Amino acid sequence: MTQRQFRSDYSGAFGFLAYSVLGFVFLLAIGVFIYGRILATEKIVKDKAILAAQSQIDPLVVEGFVRLRDRLTSGQTLLESHVAFSGLFSTLEKIQPTTVRFTSLHISFESTNVPRMEGTGVAKSFNALAAASEAFATDGRIRNAIFSKITVSDEDNSVSFVLSATIDPRLIAFTP
């Protein structure tokens, strides 16, 4: 007697798997098609809403906003380049000894836009003038302070002087 040989036939299982994948891809394609239609409908609705909103915009209001923006920008530019000497005067008041005073003060800008201070003044004594020089050197915002034409008065030992110095630009910059 001969034995029967059994052979496994997987063609049915492979066919079932192939049809299952085909069905899944078909359902996925239908889903993508429907989703595309939903998105197209939403786009049309949104486009109509944008057109309606644009038709309600008043050109005069837009022009007013543009003018306001331009004025604010111009004001910002002016404020950024505005020179305010109050910071310099406050610094002089704080660091300069009370026995030293200026009789005249001239502030100018060099060609490199570095602020320069030149002034004449009177100190009660030579020691007060030395203290003012030390205060300027220690503070550092009034730089290269050079005292010249120093004259001591015979009457009260007061000292007259001429000061030449450069000023830190941040000291005279406008800050709100």
Which residue from 53, 168, 41 is spatially nearest to 115, judged by alpha carbons? 168
Residue 88: pLDDT band (50, 70, 90) is confident
Looking at per-residue confidence, does 110 or 57 come out higher? 57
Domain boundary among the residues 57, 78, 99 is at 78
Residue 51: pLDDT band (50, 70, 90) is very high
For residue 116, report the phi and psi dihedrals to the nearest 5 degrees.
-125, 140
Per-residue confidence (pLDDT) for residue 76, from 0 to 100: 86
pTM value surpassing 0.85: no
Q: Identify whether residues 32 and 59 lie together within a single domain.
A: yes
Amino acid at 134: E
The tens digit of pLDDT for each residue in 117-168 reads: 898 888 888 888 888 888 888 887 888 888 888 888 888 878 888 888 888 8
- Residue 164, in any domain of the structure: yes
With H, G, I as helix, E, B as strand and everything else as coil, classify residue 166. Answer: strand
Q: How far is CA 25 from CA 21, 30, 84, 85, 94, in A?
A: 6, 9, 75, 78, 83
- Residue 73, in any domain of the structure: yes
Which residue from 167, 122, 114, 113 is spatially nearest to 149, judged by alpha carbons? 122
- Cβ-contact 147, 163 below 8 angstroms: yes
Per-residue confidence (pLDDT) for residue 7, from 0 to 100: 64
Domain carrying residue 128: 86-172
